[in-house]
Chains A and B, each alone.
Chain A
Amino acid sequence: MLVTTTKGDMDDSLLEKREGTVDNDNELTTWVEYWLEGELVHRSAHVTLKKTVTLTSSVASF
C-alpha cells in the first residue's frame, strides 16, 4: 500500500508503522504514524467527538 509521506508516496513495507488509540469521555481518537529511519514521515488522526454542546433553559408556566 502506498503511503503519502513527507518524501512522496512510499510503499508501507519500507516504513515502520505505529498506531494508537485514545478513548475517553470527550473523544475516541485513533492515529497512525509511519517512520523512516527514525524520522516521522506521515501522521494521520481520526477523532470522533463524544461531548456535545448543550444549552439548557427552563420553561415557565403562567
Chain B
Amino acid sequence: MSQLMLGEHQLGTATLVSRTSLTAPTTDTLKAALYLVSATKDASTTVYNTTGEVSGTGYTAGGVTVTNATAPTSTNTSATAGVAFFTPSASLVYTTVTLATAFDTVLLYNSTQSNKAISVHTFGSQTITAGTFTLTMPANTTAAALIRLATT
C-alpha cells in the first residue's frame, strides 16, 4: 500500500509527466511471473525474485509482459467513500510451455520500477504439458477489478 501512496506504479495509459521524463509521459512495464505451490508469495512480497518461480520448456524467468493499457478508474459513492480500481487489459498467456511442477500463484510486478511487487494472486494448483496456460482477468468494474483501493 505504501508503494501505491508513493506513486511508485504508473498503471495503464500514461497521463502523467513523471519520474523519468520532464516532458513526456511514460508508462511502466508490468510483468507476471508464476510460482510453485511450494513458494511463499503473499502480501508481504515486495519485489520479484526467482525463488520458487516455475521453470520449464517455453517459460522465461520473469514471466510475460502484462498489457497495461487501461488507466485506473475511480468512482465516488459519497464525499468520503469510493473505489479506485485497475485491471490489466488483456489475459496473461503462457504459450506452449511445459511446467511439470505444480504452481498456484502469479505475481504482478513493475519491471520499470526495480521489479517492485504490485499484487499476488493464487488459484488452484496447475501443471501444464506442451500446452498453454491462460489467466483471464476479471471485469474491470468497481466490484470485480483485479486491484481495488477502497475508502469508506
A45 to B134, CA, bound (A): 6
Task: Give the size range of A's interface with the partner.
Answer: 20 to 34
Chain B hits for A1, CB < 8 A:
none
What's the minimum C-beta distance from A6 to chain B, rounded to whole angstroms? Answer: 5
B 98-152 contacts with A by CB, 8 A: 98, 119-124, 126-138, 144-152
B148 touches A49 (CB 8 A): no
Closest chain A residue to B121, Cβ basis: A49
A54 touches B131 (CB 8 A): no
A27 to B125, CA, bound (A): 11
A53 touches B129 (CB 8 A): no
A45 to B131, CA, bound (A): 8
Residues of A within 8 A of B (CB): 4-6, 22, 26-27, 29, 31-33, 40-59, 61
